[in-house]
Amino acid sequence: MKGTLAVFSALTKNWIRSRTGVFFSILFPVMLLLLFATVFSGNENIKYTIYIQNFDLKNNTPTDLSKAFIEALNSTNNFDIKYLEPNTNISYYIKTHPSFTSYRILIIPKGFQEKAINKSISTRIEIIIDTLRKILELYGNNMNQTTRDYIKNGIQGLESFNKSLNTQNVTITLLLDPSDNSATTIKGIIYSITTAFNNKLIGTKDIININIKNTSQRTLKAVDYYLPGYIAAFIMTNGIIGVTSTVSEFRRNGILKRLAATPLSKSSWIIANLLQQTLLAFLLTLIMLTLGLLAFNVTIIPDPPSLLLILIGAITFCSIGIVLGGIIKDVETAYGISNSIAFPLMFLSGAFWPVDIMPDYLQSIAKILPLYYFHQGLRELLIFKNIQQSYTSFIIMTSMAIIFTTLAIKITKWKEFE
């Protein structure tokens, strides 16, 4: 036991004094969390850039109605509106102003105001005529002849006036890039605005209203998703990349041989590594949760089950690192192989984004990766405090820990060093 603790202490000191080690184990995850959680924390305030080319001018200034329509778009706070002059050739403009953001252009045609007003008046008249006819149909028998004639004459007068109006439909044009991921959202917003604008023009009132309420007990932020995901992902990288490379390095430079020549047993060496990775995992968790509190005002206090899952995760991924470090002879190859295992794990498992947004086949792949169960379990425990939902994670991660620790003991050479 003394030997195990001595090696654990040596490994920890060796890690703490390695700038690269501390950067990739602690600082890099902290930077990523700060970056991603900040970038994606303001989803509700995302503004889509949209260009408007307004041809509906009067004395070279936009008509009142076209201005009102643009104002309605602006009032949603969803758009960053930019204007294109009516004489701008759109194709030429796009060609000469390349951008990584897809172009979205809304064209308001000439005569927008006039046609919209005429059409709205005509529609209102049609509604009145239709209402008067219904009155005659339903209540005409109860009226005297004079009243019926007044109404009929009124209908005729209105029909005659309506015919005299120029009642063309108004068509605004929305140009979108087919590759624009936000196209559907933008179309939806503009459709809603147009419908509301139409209703206002004809003077109708909303009949069905929507009352939006939160389904969560507390408002979940982006950081709630990222925190458990990043803790899990970087416990994984610390094990698979960190341990693989250090074990491989210790093997190459003879430290392992030096230790093997002492009374220290192979299992003590492995336990010392597991302890060191567990300490690192808890330290990472503490720092990430503190950052969540200080930077994003998210209070997460880990309970014993979540600490247990972190321990199991650290053991699993550290064992994988010991296995790989025991197999791979060359340090550079160890770096390469461990990176090529850890990075796909990180991105495919859903640690960085929900698996639901990935294609079906990638979702199937995610669900065979240990990291998927690790971060899912941690999210259930840390965020939702739902231990029942983490049982699968516990079962799978414990099995993995047993398998890889056994393999690590089998594969680690304590004799016949090359």
Partner 1 sequence: MIRNLKNMKEKVIEVSQLTKRYGNIIAIDNISFDVYQGEVFSLVGPNGAGKTTTVEILECLRKPTSGFARVLGYDILKDENKIKKRIGIMPQNFNAFERLTVKENIELIAKISGSKTNINEHLKLLGLWDVKDKKFGTLSGGMKRRVGICMALITDPDILFLDEPTTGLDPQARKEVWTIIKNLRKSGKTIFLTTHYMDEVEILCDRASLIVQGKIIHTASINELILKYGSGIRIIADNKPNSKEILHEFTKNISYDEDGNIVGKFSSLNDANKAFTKLYENGIRAHIIMSSMDDVFLNITGKRINEKGELI
Structure tokens at 281: 């995992």
Structure tokens at 223: 């950081």
> Least CB distance from residue 255 to partner 1, whole Å?
6
Nearest Cα to Cα of residue 394 among 321, 330, 331, 307: 307
Nearest Cα to Cα of residue 314 among 412, 404, 250, 248: 404
DSSP secondary structure letter of residue 240: I
Out of 2, 95, 163, 213, name the contact with partner 1 by CB under 8 A: 2
Other C-beta atoms closer than 10 Å to the C-beta of 287 total: 17
> Least CB distance from residue 6 to partner 1, whole Å?
4
What is the Cα–Cα distance from 171 to 8, expressed in whole angstroms? 73
Residue 17 lies near partner 1 (rule: CB under 8 A): yes
Structure tokens at 13: 């000191």
By beta-carbon proximity to partner 1, the closer residue of 269 and 296 is 269
Residue 6 lies near partner 1 (rule: CB under 8 A): yes
Residue 259 lies near partner 1 (rule: CB under 8 A): yes
Out of 14, 49, 76, 389, name the contact with partner 1 by CB under 8 A: 14
> Least CB distance from residue 243 to partner 1, whole Å?
15
Nearest Cα to Cα of residue 104 among 24, 218, 190: 190
321: amino acid identity, one letter? G
By beta-carbon proximity to partner 1, the closer residue of 54 and 268 is 268
Q: Is the dihedral of CA 89, 94, 97, 102 positive or negative?
A: positive
By beta-carbon proximity to partner 1, the closer residue of 161 and 417 is 417
Q: Name the one range near partner 1 by CB under 8 A: 11-19, 39-47, 71-79, 162-170.
A: 11-19
Out of 129, 255, 365, 402, name the contact with partner 1 by CB under 8 A: 255
If binding means CB under 8 A, how many residues of this protein chain bind partner 1?
25
By beta-carbon proximity to partner 1, the closer residue of 115 and 251 is 251
Structure tokens at 70: 């643009």
Residue 20 lies near partner 1 (rule: CB under 8 A): no
What is the Cα–Cα distance from 32 to 29, expressed in whole angstroms? 5
Check if the beta carbon of residue 31 is closer than 8 Å to that of residue 212. no
Residue 23 lies near partner 1 (rule: CB under 8 A): no
Residue 290 lies near partner 1 (rule: CB under 8 A): no
Give the binding site for partner 1 (CB under 8 A): 2-3, 5-7, 9-10, 13-14, 17-18, 253-255, 257-264, 415-417
